[in-house]
Amino acid sequence: MLDQTPKEILERKALRINPLKTCQPVGALYAALGVRKCMPHSHGSQGCVSYHRTFLTRHFKEPAVASSSSFTEGASVFGGGANLRSSVKNIFDLYDPDIVAVHTTCLSETIGDDLNAYILEMEIPDDKLVVHCNTPSYVGSHIHGHANMVAGFIKYLADKRAPKNDKVGVFPGFINPGDIRELKRLLGLMGVDYIMLPDQSGVMDGPMTGVYEMFPEGGTTIDEIRALGGAKGALALGEFCSTEPALALKTKCGVDSKVMPLPFGVSQTDSFLMALSEISGRPIPKELEDERGRLIDLMLDANPYFYGRRCAIFGDPDTVLGLASLALELGLKPKYVITGTPGEAFEKKAQALLESFGEAEGAKVKAAGDLFDLHQWIKNDPIDLLIGTSYGKQLAKAESLPFVRAGFPILDRYGHAYQALIGYEGALKLAVKIADAIMDRLDMDCADEDLELVM
Ligand code: SF4
């Protein structure tokens, strides 16, 4: 399918081929689904939200509920205020959520709709809430949309007069419900009382009960978001996804956050647990030390198969940096590290990470890149393994590469949203998958007399 990708690299400025990102509202919609009894609302035309919902549903294999202001030509010319007012009234009348979380689209941003003014002026039932964030899709990516929506919840709802509490705020970034469950397990083992915002577990990985619930039981409650204003501190995981929420909490309530990488692999999970221990005053339990020890044991056992193998890692910036950190710890050589989300900070962080392992020489890192870039690099200087989202499958087929799926979106396989990649347990499972992919390939390629049963 991608056999025609040319080896010769020409400069491209205004063209993306097989992009590695999607638009801001996808992230905003996903963030809003992580708040209890919240209806995500897309302020634009129906086509946008139809695409956003479909995209999320294809990854999570769960319905992603959202409503739309349903712009037509009239709203596009005269503004979408009337559409938003009638939408909000209909949503509360028909579906009875506790809160509507509005995000914008390219169209409503381009015509300059003032969501602050619309929301201030509209009639909202006494016990209900409407919040918003701006998500212009011609800048940033779904990662920025997620960050903006979480910050939006904080700006509207976090209460600086909330009584001081013993809780630690956790902003988990754009991760799967399986990862959020793992974070909650780690927090539970540490005995830390926390407020997770957002929390899509129980919403986008809800059990099959035979009864459809528009608003499942999961999600951060409105009271919890208010109580963030009295938290003893917060951990903002994933610099690209969680810095905005951290700044919003500091600005509105004066609560400090520690912004740090997603806890992928050994060292980043160590950092997360130590930060948690510092902020909560709780020791790291032996159970977690044992999990760490098992991971290290596996890394040592399988090291001959990891060591020196060249890989490419692509996807969302926080996830890619986390995967690259784990890959380096395993002994792999991340030769190409690329994200579609723009931002020079990614390139600097990826470069610094590679340098810290002495692997920067000959490696390429790129933000605002695409899979065409990656394919051309691979054609010129091949690799042994591809790690990333479903969008890599054509490239893996074209170049006959072992392919480990990780990140967002995984559209062509089942169960990935349930599986944790973070923490020591997530790293162990991911390391097993990587080792399997490498060793399956060795088995397929070797002569019959070299096909070993025992490694
Ligand atoms: S028009 Fe903008 S908001 Fe709508 S789907 Fe396209 S990029 Fe996304």
Asked whether 23 lines ligand 1 (CB < 6 A), one says yes
Asked whether 45 lines ligand 1 (CB < 6 A), one says no
22, 23, 68, 108: residue to mutate for ligand 1 pocket, most atoms within 8 A of CB? 23
* Amino acid letter, 269: T
Asked whether 105 lines ligand 1 (CB < 6 A), one says yes
- Outline which parts of the chain fall under CATH 3.40.50.1980: 24-157, 168-289, 299-450
Quote the CA–CA distance of 73 and 148 in Å, as a whole number. 28
**Pairing assessment for the beta strands 129-133 and 403-405 based on DSSP bridges:** unpaired
Block means of pLDDT (10 residues each) for the chain, 455 residues, are: 89 92 98 98 97 97 96 90 96 98 97 96 96 96 98 98 97 98 98 98 94 94 98 98 98 98 98 97 97 98 97 98 98 98 96 98 97 97 98 96 98 97 98 98 95 88
Kindly state the tokens that stand for 294: 């098992």
The protein residue with its alpha carbon nearest to ligand 1, atom 2, reads 106
> What residues contact 239, with CB distance under 8 A and at least 6 apart?
259, 260, 261, 318, 345, 349
Owner of token pair 């890394």: 299
Quote the CA–CA distance of 193 and 188 in Å, as a whole number. 8
Quote the CA–CA distance of 410 and 394 in Å, as a whole number. 14
Q: Which residues of 306-338 are buried (b: 16+ CB within 10 A; e: fewer)?
A: beebbbbbbbbbbbbbbbbbbbbbbbbbbbbbb
105, 113, 134, 138: residue to mutate for ligand 1 pocket, most atoms within 8 A of CB? 105
C-alpha 25 to ligand 1 mean position (Å): 8
Q: Does domain 24-157 have CATH number 3.40.50.1980?
A: yes
C-alpha 109 to ligand 1 mean position (Å): 11
The protein residue with its alpha carbon nearest to ligand 1, atom 4, reads 48
Instruction: Note the pLDDT of residue 70.
Output: 96
Nearest atom in ligand 1 to the alpha carbon of residue 106 is: 2
Nearest atom in ligand 1 to the alpha carbon of residue 25 is: 3
C-alpha 142 to ligand 1 mean position (Å): 11
C-alpha 200 to ligand 1 mean position (Å): 23
Q: What single-letter DSSP state applies at residue 218?
A: -
Q: Which fold has domain 299-450?
A: Rossmann fold (3.40.50)
Length of the chain: 455
CATH class of 168-289: alpha beta
Quote the CA–CA distance of 219 and 34 in Å, as a whole number. 5
Asked whether 137 lines ligand 1 (CB < 6 A), one says yes
